[in-house]
Amino acid sequence: MIKKLFSASAFSFLTMSLMAMLLSAVVSAAQDQPTIAKDSVQVNAFTLSSYKKNFKIFSWVPKMEFRVNGPIASGSQLYAEFTIPGTGPWVKFDCQTEEVQPGRWWKTECGARDIPEDKGSTYTGTVNFTIKLRNELAGSDSTLFTGRMKVAKAHSNETGPDYVNHFVYYVDDDWNLPIGYVYLTPDDSTGMKFPGFKMAFWVRGDPTNFQPHLFYQGKEVGKINYGTDEVGRASCEADIEKETTQYVDDSLPQKAKWARVVCSFPNIKGWDTTGEERNKFPGQTGVIHLIKNNPGDYELKVLWRNHLARSIKFTVGADGKFDNGIATANKLGSNRVILPVQIIGDQDGAWDKTAWKTEAFYGNPLTGFTPVP
């Protein structure tokens, strides 16, 4: 009897151990698969100056860029497929690919002039696409991202009877406007021991003349002066600009331009574990502001062309973290924290305030996200 009980227990233990090993292997395998950073996917409608060799009619083909989190195995090839509803597959093209080790990433762009001109289309509306990875050495072919985009058109700024069908094509990116980001970046010399602090948001229109101001518990931080001179002034610039390849006429607000703007704050850091002393110098007012050492409520206010245009709020916990879980829950694939953005004023023109519900990240809408009214 004792022997039988021992055997049953041993069998049960071995079974549980085997299940644990299999589960661990599955999790490890999942972690070893390449993934797309959703906030890196950008798709454009690249306008062509002809349609089936007719230069009186414009057409378009897709152009895209995206980032893949490694690993990407040797012999792998990224490629994209686009489908027009009702007509089936339309275009398929490869994207430059290199082998990437785990923990690293690869950014690529493809389409546009790499697509034969006879593939140009005059279709407007929803277009479906997928980003895939094949490896003919391993006999594998997997889908990394599935999305859709809304293509629209506007007349070019050309006038005359020969230009009646000169339409400029673009992808509607209004879904981006309510979605902002906050994140840390490694310092050039000390890495993540003294990380930089950045925030990002989208605008519709020309991405110029921004003045960012960060407030902590109602008081502006990150301002350092030596005498009358401000040093380390915060600034913003566009890291992505999406616009048409030709000029459109004045009937289209903001000329079908969207841009992601990144604001940098040299005097604001995530934390400081370098052990270096950062003393005040004679005539200095203000100090480096460390996010981790100052938990509580923050707000970014941005002046755009001298008028208040954006407000983004976030809270830093007692542990120094500001991750609200939205990016993780939606498998963003990057180190950015997603935040709601309040759009103030009318500089963006008329835009679709509900687009984010269905179109965010090209048809991969956010869960747990609430926009600012």
Residue-range domain boundaries for the chain: 35-171, 175-363
Q: Is the pLDDT of residue 42 over 90?
A: yes
Q: Is the pLDDT of residue 28 over 90?
A: no
Q: Is the pLDDT of residue 11 over 90?
A: no
The mean per-residue pLDDT over the stretch 19-38 comes to: 59
pLDDT 10s digits, 269-278 = 999 999 888 7
Least confident of 82-91, 197-206, 249-258, 302-311: 249-258
Q: Which residues pair with 204 in a beta bridge?
A: 258
Question: Six-digit token pair at 43?
Answer: 């798709």
**CATH entry, 35-171, from 3.40.50.300, 2.40.50.110, 1.20.1260.10, 2.60.40.10:** 2.60.40.10
pLDDT of residue 130: 98
Q: Is the pLDDT of residue 286 over 70?
A: yes
Question: Across all residues in the chain, what is the average pLDDT?
Answer: 90
Question: pLDDT band at residue 285, thresholds of 50, 70 and 90?
Answer: confident
Q: Is the pLDDT of residue 19 over 50?
A: no
Question: Six-digit token pair at 370?
Answer: 């609430």
Task: Write the CB contacts of 302 (distance below 8 Å, at least 6 apart in sequence).
Answer: 201, 210, 211, 212, 213, 236, 263, 308, 309, 310, 311
Helix ranges (H only) for the chain are 2-31, 326-329, 355-363
pLDDT 10s digits, 71-94 = 999 999 999 999 999 888 999 999
Chain centroid to CA 297: how far? Answer: 24
* Share of residues in the chain with pLDDT > 70 (%): 91
Residue 358 is given by DSSP the state: H
Is the alpha carbon torsion for 133, 136, 137, 141 positive or negative? Answer: positive
Q: Which residues pair with 96 in a beta bridge?
A: none
Q: Is pLDDT larger for residue 353 or for residue 246?
A: 353
pLDDT 10s digits, 119-131 = 999 999 999 999 9
Three-state secondary structure call for residue 33: coil
The mean per-residue pLDDT over the stretch 307-325 comes to: 96
The mean per-residue pLDDT over the stretch 226-246 comes to: 90
pLDDT of residue 250: 75
The mean per-residue pLDDT over the stretch 170-193 comes to: 96
pLDDT of residue 31: 53
Question: Whats the size of the chain, residue-wise?
Answer: 373
Q: Is the pLDDT of residue 25 over 60?
A: no
Q: Is the pLDDT of residue 27 over 60?
A: no
The mean per-residue pLDDT over the stretch 128-142 comes to: 97
Q: How many CB atoms are located within 10 Å of the residue 354 CB?
A: 11
Q: How many CB atoms are located within 10 Å of the residue 363 CB?
A: 16
